[in-house]
């Protein structure tokens, strides 16, 4: 049996340092070169099929960027701390419009930044700027699928706490699986796909959501997850897949080049101007000034960002124990959708969304303008963090430590709010400070002794077990991970063994 290509190592993990320079010794393949005629009696060796391009038009080899990218850890930490802020910071009107705007920045944008970073991680797992091919890509895809399964497991456990947080991990799991068909795509194709989704996905989701309501189609069983994760949820896939694809496209570039960091900042600023500027112009033209961005009259008052008084809730005599609903009864008239009058596929007159609902850019509105504007904001933050990446081992080590175990840090704050639910409704800044300082200290201490966070280790282990296939032993599965000696990885990947022709 003839073999023209030696087995390749499976996909790599973002949590490790790599010296992968597989493409550094690559040479340009001339497709016009004829296959040499073998001696009589010897099997014909077919010409290898060229994989993704590893050389430019001048024939210069393209090297795969290596090592852990400190700037990505810093950006992940900002996304996590932003989620802490969104879930625990009090909404208090400072009386200053600029201060209020700045205070509202983390809301909705932290999740978008995290989605963009998730896309970059997917690109890293599948070959960075030189996509894997063959068995190595197949193994990388299996490992991504394993990570998605681990995220679903973790989300299921966290949901038992009954917090007020809209858990995003299960959405990520679905997006990871949806990204697999695009794992071989080039940066250009991924950016085009991201643009198409950003422009078509949000309005399509709004229209489909209206159509489902008009037809009385509501999935109140466990299968509703499929609809929620793509259309009706707080993080609809028809919108957020644009960030995943854009992140994959960025990860397909050499993100270690400082010139690219500046380009990202410039492109992000342009997207912010288009998204937020366009929304501001159209909103002022379509929405009455006395109304909120959603067309709802905003009450006047002091104490909160949108008016009215907001005071601390008295939790001393309040219980979060499960209510005894065993003897409760409900009238069908009180819940018509669940009563005998509920008729699926029965058209009911629900007003079509107004034009104003398509042009706002407020957090979680899932419009084109929010997608473009907030996506641009995430790209700017990414570019700045990449520029600061060299400080990840020194001045910004605590921040990078949080980012290196972002899954653990995110889950930790969910557990904290499960134990102290009142933290999500207080006007005090104390809960936010406790969460942020605690994460910085604990993650830094953990990072001094361990390479991965607890949940990062779990997802890594599940991904390794998922990638176990016939013909691949543990050494193949773990190739390039922390369990493989650094020197051996360099030798194995830079100098592949000769093809077996026997």
Integer Cα distance of 202 and 371 in angstroms:
8
Cβ density class 86-123: b for 16+ within 10 Å, e for less: bbbbbeebeeeeeeeeebbebbbbbbbbbbbbbbbbbb
Q: Is residue 164 part of a domain?
A: yes
Question: Given pLDDT bands bounded at 50, 70 and 90, which one contains residue 285?
Answer: confident
The number of CA neighbours under 13 Å toward the Cβ of 384 is 12
259: exposed, middle or buried (C-beta count within 10 Å: 0-12, 13-18, 19+)? exposed
Q: What is the pLDDT of residue 492?
A: 35
Q: What is the pLDDT of residue 99?
A: 80
Q: Is residue 155 part of a domain?
A: yes
Q: Is residue 130 part of a domain?
A: yes
pLDDT tens sequence across 345-391: 778 888 899 888 899 999 999 999 999 999 999 999 999 999 999 99
Which range in 29-33, 268-272, 486-490 is most confidently predicted, on average pLDDT?
268-272
In this prediction, residues 247-255 reach a mean pLDDT of: 97
Is pLDDT of 312 > 70? Answer: no
In this prediction, residues 398-414 reach a mean pLDDT of: 98
Q: Is residue 177 part of a domain?
A: yes
Lookup: tokens for 7: 């087995």
Q: What is the pLDDT of residue 175?
A: 95
pLDDT tens sequence across 444-477: 999 999 999 999 999 999 999 999 865 554 444 4
Find out whether 376 and 112 touch, Cβ atoms under 8 Å: no
Q: What is the pLDDT of residue 426?
A: 82
Lookup: tokens for 178: 């949806």
Which residues, 6+ apart, have CB-to-CB distance to 246 below 8 Å? 116, 119, 190, 191, 194, 198, 375, 379
| DSSP helix/strand/coil, 129 | coil
Q: What is the pLDDT of residue 30?
A: 40
Is pLDDT of 67 > 60? Answer: yes
Positive or negative CA dihedral for 358, 241, 258, 103? Answer: positive
Q: What is the pLDDT of residue 214?
A: 87
Q: Is residue 277 part of a domain?
A: no
Integer Cα distance of 45 and 31 in angstroms:
15
Q: What pTM, to 2 d.p., does this model score?
A: 0.75
Q: Is residue 456 part of a domain?
A: yes
Q: Is residue 112 part of a domain?
A: yes
Is pLDDT of 229 > 50? Answer: yes
pLDDT: which is higher, 387 or 482: 387
**Can you give the residue range of the structural domain that contains 480?**
70-260+304-316+397-494
pLDDT tens sequence across 24-51: 333 333 434 344 555 555 444 444 444 4
136: exposed, middle or buried (C-beta count within 10 Å: 0-12, 13-18, 19+)? buried
Domain count, the chain: 1
Q: Is residue 388 part of a domain?
A: no
Integer Cα distance of 399 and 73 in angstroms:
8
Length of the chain: 502
Q: What is the pLDDT of residue 500?
A: 39
């Amino acid at each position: 049996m003839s073999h023209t290509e030696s087995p390749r190592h499976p996909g790599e993990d973002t949590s490790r340092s790599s010296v992968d320079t597989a493409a550094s010794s690559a040479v340009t393949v001339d497709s016009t070169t004829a296959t040499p005629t073998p001696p009589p009696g010897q099997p014909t060796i077919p010409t290898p099929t060229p994989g993704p391009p590893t050389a430019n038009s001048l024939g210069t080899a393209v090297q795969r960027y290596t090592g852990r990218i400190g700037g990505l850890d810093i950006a992940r930490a900002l996304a996590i701390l932003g989620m802490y802020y969104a879930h625990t910071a009090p909404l208090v009107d400072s009386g200053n419009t600029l201060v209020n705007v700045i205070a509202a920045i983390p809301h909705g944008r932290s999740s978008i930044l995290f989605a963009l970073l998730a896309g970059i991680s997917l690109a890293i797992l599948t070959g960075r700027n030189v996509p894997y091919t063959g068995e190595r890509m197949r193994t990388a895809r299996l490992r991504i699928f394993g990570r998605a399964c681990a995220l679903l497991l973790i989300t299921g456990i966290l949901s038992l706490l009954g917090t007020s947080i809209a858990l995003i991990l299960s959405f990520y799991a679905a997006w990871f699986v949806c990204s697999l068909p695009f794992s071989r795509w080039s940066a250009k194709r991924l950016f085009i796909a991201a643009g198409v989704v950003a422009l078509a996905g949000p309005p399509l989701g709004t229209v489909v959501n209206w159509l489902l309501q008009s037809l009385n189609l509501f999935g109140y069983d466990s299968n509703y997850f499929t609809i929620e994760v793509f259309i009706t949820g707080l993080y609809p896939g028809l919108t957020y897949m644009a960030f995943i694809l854009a992140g994959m496209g960025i990860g397909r570039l050499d993100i270690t080049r400082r010139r690219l960091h500046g380009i990202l900042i410039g492109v992000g600023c342009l997207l912010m101007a288009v998204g937020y500027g366009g929304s501001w112009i159209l909103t002022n033209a379509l929405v009455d000034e006395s109304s909120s961005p959603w067309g709802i009259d905003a009450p006047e008052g002091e104490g909160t960002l949108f008016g009215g008084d907001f005071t601390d809730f008295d939790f001393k005599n309040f219980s979060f124990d499960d209510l005894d609903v065993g003897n409760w009864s409900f009238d069908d008239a009180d819940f018509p959708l669940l009563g005998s009058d509920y008729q699926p596929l029965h058209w009911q007159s629900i007003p079509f969304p107004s034009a104003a609902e398509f042009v706002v850019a407020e957090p979680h509105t899932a419009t084109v303008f929010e997608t473009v504007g907030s996506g641009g904001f995430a790209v700017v933050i990414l570019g700045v963090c990449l520029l600061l990446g060299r400080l990840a081992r020194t001045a910004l080590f605590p921040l990078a430590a949080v980012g290196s175990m972002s899954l653990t840090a995110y889950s930790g704050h969910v557990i904290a709010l499960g134990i102290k639910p009142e933290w999500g409704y207080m006007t005090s800044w104390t809960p936010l400070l406790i969460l942020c300082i605690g994460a910085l200290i604990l993650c830094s201490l953990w990072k001094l002794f361990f390479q991965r966070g607890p949940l990062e280790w779990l997802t890594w282990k599940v991904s390794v077990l998922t990638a176990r296939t016939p013909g691949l032993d543990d050494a193949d599965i773990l190739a390039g991970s922390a369990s493989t000696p650094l020197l051996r990885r360099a030798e194995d990947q830079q100098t592949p063994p000769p093809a077996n022709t026997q």
